[in-house]
Amino acid sequence: MHIFKDIYDYRELLKTNVKKDIRGKYKGSFLGVLWSFINPLLQVVVYWIVFPYLMRGTGGSDYLIYLITGLIPWTFFLTTVSGGTTAIKANAGIIKKVYFPREILIISQVLSGLVNFFISCIIILAFCLVFGFGISIHLLMLPVIAFVQSLLILGIVFILSAVNVYVQDMEYIVTFILNMLFYGTPVLYELSMFGDAGILYKLISLNPLTTIINSYRDIFMYHVWPDMSSLGLVFLLAIVVLLVGYKIFKVLEKGFAEASLRTIAQNAGVSTSTIYTRYSDKEGLFRFLVEEASAQLLEYVSISLNGFDHLDQTVRETNYRKYADMGFSGLIDILYDYFDEFQLIIKCSPGGYYQDFLESLVKIDAASTRNFLISLGSESYRTGRINDGFIHVVCSGFYAGLFEVVVHNMPRAEAEAYIRELRSFYNSGWKEYF
């Protein structure tokens, strides 16, 4: 399938989105990523205290472990489906004529949820050890069960995220269904309690999440291999849901850009027609958003390099590093003054806009570098050891590396250190040809 090639081609964007989803979830909070532990732990404590009394059951370590091995996998399902449902609409501002596959928005949601789930599994292991349940070789099945659950979630989210773009009430419908499904899954209770419930017992038994959660309990709590025939059926169901879900997603994808534009209009308090009246197409709107940032950087690079070219030759030869330091300081300032705009340019440019923008920077730098080599009387350039094509390639590599700070959402201090080393690397290489 073409999707696998797309994922591979845009793997860096996928990794960036996963990191953003994980970091952004608790961004600005005092405890940060520790909430990945605290949230499920607090839920477990509340249900452990309250639920045994409501069900007239007994508390104790057995029920605590039973509860925690059900609640944490359920939380993985709940949060990922909820977040994935809104993934397309939440990124409405950047979904226009983009060059990256929109599936990445969905896949990154599932992968970030999976990472959080594995982090939360540390809580399960800790409780199993503290309360004497121990661990066993059956934990080798953990990634297999998580993989099956992730496939099922991915298929569901493909459907819900696509439909949510067109059906405004879908988020509320999903919330209602998830609340019902919670009580239709043996998270808080044992399935045997509904042995005499007839059709209700059958429905809970057929719930694929019942099989998945029971499989987690088998490996964590009971130290047995899960029912492979039941888990295999859920795996087949997950494949079917994934294929159907992806097909629906691709069919409905054609209207994402238009629907996204409607969302932008709603958030701005204007009509879609107003936007189309002001901007002839979505590319026109995109250029309006990034025009100032791109113009500022192009102008700065042009002025900085041209100013350097017009310096006295002696000054250039003896003080080029000083002037280079001044130039890069200003360049970093512009990058971080317009950080969001440059993310749009790099990640979401319509057509070849990003390539054109990057090429413009490269041409300016390549011309300046050529003039500098000529002014130095570079033997390598004079004899043809290096030529204009070589200069262009090296400059292209440099600017591609420079914009990695935007691709990976680097904090400024980290970016400054990275660019300093990048510059040092290229300067050392250029000395060969000076």
Return the biggest CA–CA distance within the chain.
95
Please give the model's pTM, rounded to 2 decimal places: 0.59
Q: What is the DSSP letter of 142?
A: H
Distance (Å, rounded) from C-alpha 390 to C-alpha 370?
Answer: 10
What's residue 377's pLDDT? 80
Question: Which alpha helices (H) appear in 141-169, and where do they start and end?
Answer: 142-166
Burial of 235 (0-12, 13-18, 19+ CB in 10 A): buried
In contact, 350 and 286? CB cutoff 8 Å: yes
What's residue 97's pLDDT? 43
Amino acid, single-letter form, for residue 92? A
Distance (Å, rounded) from C-alpha 211 to C-alpha 227?
Answer: 8
Distance (Å, rounded) from C-alpha 200 to C-alpha 180?
Answer: 13
Distance (Å, rounded) from C-alpha 404 to C-alpha 402?
Answer: 5
Amino acid, single-letter form, for residue 403? F
Q: Which of 373, 397, 395, 369 is nearest to 383 (CA)?
A: 373
What's residue 87's pLDDT? 85
What's residue 231's pLDDT? 95
What the block records as the tokens of 188 is: 């808080």
What the block records as the tokens of 305 is: 């390099």
Distance (Å, rounded) from C-alpha 132 to C-alpha 150?
Answer: 30
What the block records as the tokens of 432 is: 């060969």
Report the chain's terminal Cα–Cα distance, integer Å. Answer: 49
Strands (DSSP E) contained in 207-256 are none
pLDDT digits (tens, 9 = 90+) for 59-68: 455 888 888 8
What's residue 149's pLDDT? 97
Q: What are phi and psi of 151, to 5 degrees?
A: -60, -45
What's residue 315's pLDDT? 46
Q: Which residues of the chain have pLDDT under 50?
A: 30, 56-59, 97, 268, 309-311, 315-316, 319, 322-323
Q: Which of 293, 294, 326 is nearest to 308 (CA)?
A: 326
Q: What single string gives the DSSP state of each residue in 331-392? A: HHHHHHHTHHHHHHHHHH-STTHHHHHHHHHHHHHHHHHHHHHHHHT-HHHHTTSS-HHHHH
Distance (Å, rounded) from C-alpha 102 to C-alpha 4?
Answer: 13
Distance (Å, rounded) from C-alpha 279 to C-alpha 255?
Answer: 19
In contact, 145 and 226? CB cutoff 8 Å: yes
Q: Which of 126, 129, 134, 130 is nearest to 222 (CA)?
A: 134
Q: What are phi and psi of 349, to 5 degrees?
A: -70, 135
What's residue 311's pLDDT? 47
